Amino acid sequence: MAERLIYLPLGGAGEIGMNAYVYGYGAPGKERLILVDLGVTFGDMDGSPGIDLIMPDIAWLVENRSRLEGIFITHGHEDHLGALGHLWSRLDVPIYARQFTGALCRLKLEEAGLPGEAVNITGPRPEVTQLGPFTVQFVPVSHSIPESAALIIDTPAGRIVHTGDFKLDGTPVVGDPFDPIMWHEIASEGRGIKVLTCDSTNVFSTHPGRSEALLANPILEWVMAQKNMVIATTFASNIARLKTLSEAAIASGRKVCLLGRAMRRMVSVGLETGVLTDFPDTISPDEAAAMPRGKVMLLVTGSQGERRAASAQLSRGRYLGLSLKEGDSFLFSSKTIPGNERPVGRIMNAFSELGVDVYDADDGLFHVSGHANRPDIEALHDLLKPEIVIPMHGEHMHLREHVQIARAKGLGAEIVTNGTMIDLGGERPRIVDQVETGRLYLDGSVLIGSMDGIVRDRIRMALNGHALVSVIVDEDDNVLPDAWVELMGLPGRTRSGEDLARHIEGELSEFLESADNRTVRDDAKMDEAIRKIARQVSMEEIGKKPEVTVIISRLMAD
């Protein structure tokens, strides 16, 4: 049977975040593999309470580890490299990344006690990495973090361009500008481009993307107009934005203070790796607190309302000796990611109560996106003229829209979601397998499966409350008459004002007194009967059925 060129997304195809894409080439079932990106996404109270990080279930890849040649990381965002510290040890293959990204990869590994030397720093095209049947080049693209890269993956079956996250920006402030001539070259070499695997995040934005450089003037004007302390937040990794903001500060006679671990780390990695130059000297929080308010700009983490980040801390009062006051000005130089509106709104309102003037980026003056909009995506299609477009990094609706755009141009295009393996080697893409995929949750320090029922139980307790029933059966299989009920997350009083726990106990005692021997001897039967009574009584008295846990203690004869 002929060789296959397979593509298998394990994360990021059908969602935004948690990117992980497998490519393979070889005889069916024996393809040599590479992985592109290994990212995380974040939990939320709605779907995954108590979960810090969510990452792709890479069981398939672990099973086929002997075929895996290496991991390529396109850029340093958490949704592209955040799972390395948690999952790399299950794969144990070399990682390839450009310098700044590689430094972040090493930090991830080392923080998890893993060897940073697994990361191989790779230069941009024309440098190539040869791994099995793959020849891979990193192509600089612009995005909202320095040193983002698309990958050229050359295989015996043809050339794949995997865009990673990208935008078309001729003046990105930090990092490499979009280079149409190089892309034209890439499209013209050899047989041209067989497959374009392409970022879909912003496919619904109909205007052309705007350059990072456009922000310098509006931000400078805004900073100049503020009289007291200026505070600005953006993603810690958006180093270009940090540079623009801090340059505006300096130009208006202010000193810059970085607040938030992630931000200080990004700036220092940026400086160490040389991607960031001319970043102004910063001052410490103590120094900032001692300066006149009109002479300071704080650059702070927490643009998405994260509870522990600097923005949230400042909104709750004093943080590292600094507190915001009437007349200060706070700028969200960021877009609120859908789902984060409530926490961001809470912070804005808290600032409002302090008398702080809040500015957001809604009018477009203070933020530009890092992703290609629809016209930019179309421009890339036109420039690269791939045989097949495979949209990636998007929810289903983004992938579908992207496919429709490509097909309208006469290009081949397919929706391929997590777990679907397709063969791209033939005339037309062909589904060849469905792989079990899913999500792993980092819960405290343990990785659990999203379908293990643990989080489902948490959600149920949160919605329904939890009733605990303890009953004791003595040595002679007699139930002691008093059941004990404890409630957690349930109203103490019924509609008529009675004590709910005592009321359930009363009903349980009645049952236990008359329970026959066969029931009493059988844990499962007892459990079921007690649970049923507790739920029924609750339904009658408070209109809801709690989760119930029954503990039956059986005393043993000495």
Q: Among residue numbers 142 through 171, which ones bind its own copies (CB under 8 A)?
A: none
Q: Which of 327, 300, 324 is nearest to 241 (CA)?
A: 300
Residue 258 CB-half CA count within 13 A: 21
Q: What is the spatial distance between Cα 352 and Cα 185, in angstroms, rounded to a whole number?
A: 53
490 is a site residue for its own copies (CB under 8 A): yes
Site for its own copies in 198-217 (CB under 8 A): 204
Strands of 474-520 (E only): list them.
484-488
User: How many chain residues interact with its own copies (CB under 8 A)?
Assistant: 65
Residue 426 vs residues 194, 404, 430: alpha-carbon distances, Å: 10, 22, 8
Q: Which residue, 16 or 251, has its beta carbon nearer to its own copies?
A: 16
Which of 278, 353, 436, 513 contacts its own copies by CB under 8 A?
Answer: 353
Quick one: the chain helix, strand, coil %, rounded to 5? Answer: 35, 25, 40
- The answer to whether residue 462 forms part of the interface with its own copies (CB under 8 A) is yes
Work out the burial of residue 206: count CB atoms within 10 Å of its CB; fewer than 13 is exposed, 13-18 middle, 19 or more buried: exposed
- Per CB under 8 A, the list member of 18, 160, 215, 542 interacting with its own copies is 542
| 459 lines the binding site for its own copies (CB under 8 A) | yes
**How would DSSP label each residue in 312-351?**
HHHHHS-BTTB---TT-EEEE-S-PPTT-HHHHHHHHHHH
400 counts as binding its own copies under rule CB under 8 A: yes
Q: Which is nearer to its own copies, 63 or 482 (CB)?
A: 482
DSSP 479: B
Residue 486 as a binder of its own copies (CB under 8 A): the answer is yes
Nearer to its own copies, 190 or 345 (CB): 345
217/404 with CB nearer its own copies: 404
464-483 binders of its own copies (CB under 8 A): 464-466, 468, 470, 472, 480
Beta carbons within 10 angstroms of residue 176's beta carbon:
18
Q: Report d(CA 555, CA 558) in Å as an integer.
A: 9
CB-nearer residue toward its own copies: 224 or 555: 555
E-assigned strand segments in 438-483? 439-443, 446-449, 466-473
Please identify, among the stretches 326-334, 365-373, 520-528, 546-554, the one whose residues bind its own copies according to the rule CB under 8 A: 546-554
**Single residue of 156, 190, 317, 339 touching its own copies by CB under 8 A:** 339
Annotate 453-463 with b (16+ C-beta within 10 A) or e (fewer): eebeebeebee
Q: Which of 286, 287, 341, 498 binds its own copies (CB under 8 A)?
A: 341
The answer to whether 489 contacts its own copies (rule: CB under 8 A) is yes
Cα–Cα dist 60/419, whole Å: 9
Nearer CB in complex with its own copies: 383/472 = 472
Instruction: For residue 221, give every residue at least 6 positions away whose Cβ sits within 8 Å of its Cβ, in sequence order, or none.
Output: none
Between 451 and 551, CB nearer to its own copies: 551
Report if residue 516 touches its own copies, rule: CB under 8 A: no
Q: Which is nearer to its own copies, 254 or 402 (CB)?
A: 402
φ, ψ of residue 30 in degrees (nearest 5): -120, 15
* Chosen residue from 454, 515, 525, 527 binding its own copies by CB under 8 A: 454
Least distance (Å) between residue 524 CB and its own copies: 15
Considering only CA atoms, which of 333, 332, 418 is closest in space to residue 17?
Answer: 418
CB of 226 to its own copies, least distance (A): 16
Find the helix packing angle between 374-384 and 180-188, rounded to 10°.
40
Please state the closest distance from residue 495 (CB atom) to its own copies, in A: 6
Q: How far is the CB of 456 from its own copies (least distance, A)?
A: 8
Residues within window 230-269 making contact with its own copies, judged by CB under 8 A: none
3-state secondary structure 126-149: CCCEEECCEEEEEEECECCCCCCE
> Which of 27, 45, 112, 225 is in the footprint of its own copies by CB under 8 A?
45
Q: Helices 216-225 and 239-251: crossing angle, nearest 10°? A: 40
Give the binding site for its own copies (CB under 8 A).
14, 44-47, 49-50, 204, 338-339, 341-343, 345, 348-349, 351-353, 358, 362, 395-397, 400, 443-446, 448, 452, 454-455, 457-459, 461-466, 468, 470, 472, 480, 484, 486, 488-495, 539, 542-544, 547, 549, 551, 553, 555
